[in-house]
């Protein structure tokens, strides 16, 4: 991406490179009279977990943003009024800390950057949203799924992703519809962060609604690599399925340590992690059959003028990133960037207030699925999918109308053997 520091002055408060400095910095001299005209640029700010406990997911998010910028700029830029603006995304590392994310969003505001791409994770997003509201900025939330963020009356944060309550509930629904014989007992292990607890609550509510027996509900520290205490409590209850609401480290630990401790459910499920390449790479054969909830797959319905279909998006991503298949964190990041672009184009402005008005009105089919927000700023039009690791790859198994493969599930003999061993 062209990183030259130029900006576009219109009705909006948009950062111009010559003016984007911390307080107290000297302002460069004006260009000479015969200097070439500055190229108009639309600047978006992004505070991301580039280091710290969420660095892996933060890196995936950055890739999604980078892909958005490349595709948009290769197509000439964002049409705003009578100009086409090249897209420039400025990154700062929040080190996976909510307080730092809030401070960085404030710094962007000081620099005149009013349009913000969200950080990774619900805690950092919630901290950023409070600052966004205070400053009159506007944020496309790409990875803050916790429903509690949207219960505080914020009017300037819009989440393109499905809410947290769907993450575990979607796996429960898939089991009810697809598993034969249907399991009867479920155990839940949750990290103790806000997102994971909200997702667990949604899953437990759905399990009870569908007639499953919840035999255990255990909580572990966020980002822990040791979940043995929770598994030891669960083992004598012999659940058919163990569902984890957690991030990468905890999810890997659940599957790995269950094997070490002789905890043998018919299946595991986990939010977030199974769809990412590191999950299978780390666990190897132990990942086989694990379920995961995902915001996006290459079978997601919908298309748009910038990225085409979900399959088109995947092909573009693979071309840019050495043949690697995109994870849903990549896609949701690009979708947030796309939402701001569509809103700015419709507004004919890069001022955050008219862009906010158009963002609130969006009703678009995209490569990421539908984007349509309720009054609180959540994308309630979009549903999650459920994948299962089959042959070392995450394949979409639910909903049925977008499935790549049927759910692999044990028959009665296999089920009895699995539950009586050890």
Confidence (pLDDT) at 18: 33
pTM, full prediction: 0.83
Confidence (pLDDT) at 24: 34
Q: Domain segments of the chain: what residues?
A: 17-162+298-372, 165-294+391-420
Fold type of domain 17-162+298-372: Rossmann fold (3.40.50)
For strands 83-93 and 41-48, give the pairing: parallel
**Phi–psi pair at 294, nearest 5 degrees:** -145, 145
Please state whether the peptide bond connecting residue 25 to the residue before it is cis, i.e. omega within 30 degrees of 0: no
Placement of tokens 């947290």 in the chain: 164
Confidence (pLDDT) at 276: 87
Confidence (pLDDT) at 38: 67
Would you state the structure tokens that stand for residue 210, as one six-digit string? 């569908």
Confidence (pLDDT) at 237: 98
Angle at 85 between CA 81 and CA 87, to 5 degrees: 140
Residue 185: alpha-carbon gap to chain centroid: 29
Q: Which residues contact 47 (CB under 8 A, 6 or more apart)?
A: 91, 92, 93, 94, 100, 101, 104, 105, 108, 116, 119, 124, 128
| Distance, CA of 297 to CA of 261 (rounded, Å) | 33
Answer for the pair 133, 162: CB distance below 8 angstroms, yes or no. no
| Distance, CA of 331 to CA of 407 (rounded, Å) | 24
Confidence (pLDDT) at 1: 41
| Distance, CA of 145 to CA of 123 (rounded, Å) | 10
Confidence (pLDDT) at 419: 55
For strands 78-80 and 83-93, give the pairing: antiparallel
Confidence (pLDDT) at 420: 52
Could you write out the three-class secondary structure of the chain? CCCCCCCCCCCCCCCCHHHCCCCCCCCCCCCCCCCCCCCCEEEEEEEECCCCCCHHHHHHHHHHHHHHHHHHHHCCCEEECCEEEEEEEEEEECCCCHHHHHHHHHHHHHCCCCEEECCCCHHHHHHHHHHHHHHCCEEEECCCCCHHHHHCCCCCEEECCCCCHHHHHHHHHHHHHHCCCCCCEEEEEEECCHHHHHHHHHHHHHHHHCCCEEEEEEEECCCCCCCHHHHHHHHHHCCCEEEEECCHHHHHHHHHHHHHHCCCCCEEEEECHHHCHHHHHHHHHHHCCCEEEECCCCCCCCEECCCEEHHHHHHHHHHHCCCCCCCHHHHHHHHHHHHHHHHHHHHCCCCHHHHHHHHHHCEEEECCEEEEECCCCEECCCCCEEEEEECCEEEEEECHHHCCCCCCCCCHHHHHHHHHCC
Answer for the pair 305, 332: CB distance below 8 angstroms, yes or no. no
Q: Do domains 17-162+298-372 and 165-294+391-420 have the same CATH topology?
A: yes
What CATH class does 165-294+391-420 carry? alpha beta
Q: What is the mean pLDDT of each run of 10 residues along the chain (422 residues)?
A: 36 35 38 60 97 93 98 98 97 98 98 98 96 98 96 98 97 97 97 96 98 98 96 98 95 98 97 92 97 96 97 98 95 98 98 98 97 96 95 95 93 46 48
| Distance, CA of 251 to CA of 62 (rounded, Å) | 22
Distance set, CA 183 to CA 19, 213, 345, 377 (Å): 61, 9, 49, 36
Q: Which residues pair with 243 in a beta bridge?
A: 188, 269
Burial group, residue 28, by CB count within 10 angstroms (0-12, 13-18, 19+): exposed
Sign of torsion over alpha carbons 145, 148, 151, 152 = negative
Would you state the structure tokens that stand for residue 270, as one six-digit string? 């986990």
């Amino acid at each position: 991406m062209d990183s030259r520091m130029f900006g576009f002055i219109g009705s909006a408060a948009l950062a111009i490179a010559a003016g984007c400095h911390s307080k107290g910095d000297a302002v460069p001299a004006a260009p000479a009279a015969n200097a070439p005209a500055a190229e108009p640029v639309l600047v978006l700010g992004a505070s991301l977990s580039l280091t710290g406990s969420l660095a892996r997911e933060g890196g995936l998010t950055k890739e999604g943003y980078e892909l958005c910028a490349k595709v948009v700029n290769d197509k000439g830029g964002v049409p705003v009024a009578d100009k086409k603006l090249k897209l420039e995304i400025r990154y700062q590392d929040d080190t996976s800390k909510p307080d730092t994310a809030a401070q960085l969003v404030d710094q962007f505001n000081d620099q005149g950057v009013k349009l913000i791409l969200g950080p990774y994770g619900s805690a950092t997003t919630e901290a950023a949203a409070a600052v966004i509201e205070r400053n009159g900025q506007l944020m496309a939330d790409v990875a803050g799924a916790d429903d509690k963020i949207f219960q505080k009356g914020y009017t300037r944060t819009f989440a393109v992703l499905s809410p947290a309550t769907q993450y575990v509930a979607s796996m429960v629904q898939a089991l009810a519809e697809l598993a034969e014989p249907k399991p009867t007992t479920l155990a839940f292990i949750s990290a103790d962060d806000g997102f994971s607890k909200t997702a667990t609550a949604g899953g437990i509510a759905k399990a009870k609604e569908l007639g499953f027996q919840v035999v255990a509900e255990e909580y572990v520290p966020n980002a822990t690599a040791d979940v043995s205490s929770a598994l030891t409590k669960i083992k004598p209850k012999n659940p058919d399925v163990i569902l984890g609401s957690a991030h990468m480290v905890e999810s890997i630990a659940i599957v790995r340590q269950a094997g070490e401790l002789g905890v043998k459910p018919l299946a595991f499920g986990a939010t977030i992690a199974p769809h990412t390449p590191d999950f299978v790479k780390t666990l190897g054969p132990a990942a086989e059959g694990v379920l995961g909830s995902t915001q996006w797959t290459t079978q997601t319905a919908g298309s748009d003028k910038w990225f085409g279909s979900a399959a088109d998006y995947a092909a573009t991503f693979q071309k840019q990133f050495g043949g690697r298949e995109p994870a849903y964190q990549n896609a949701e990041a690009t979708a947030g960037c796309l939402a701001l672009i569509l809103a700015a184009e419709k507004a004919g402005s890069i001022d955050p207030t008219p862009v906010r008005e158009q963002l609130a009105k969006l009703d678009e089919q995209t490569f990421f699925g539908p984007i349509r927000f309720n009054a609180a700023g959540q994308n309630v039009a979009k549903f999650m999918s459920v994948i299962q690791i089959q042959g070392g790859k995450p394949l979409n198994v639910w909903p049925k109308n977008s499935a790549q493969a049927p759910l692999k599930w044990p028959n009665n003999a296999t089920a009895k053997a699995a539950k009586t061993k050890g």
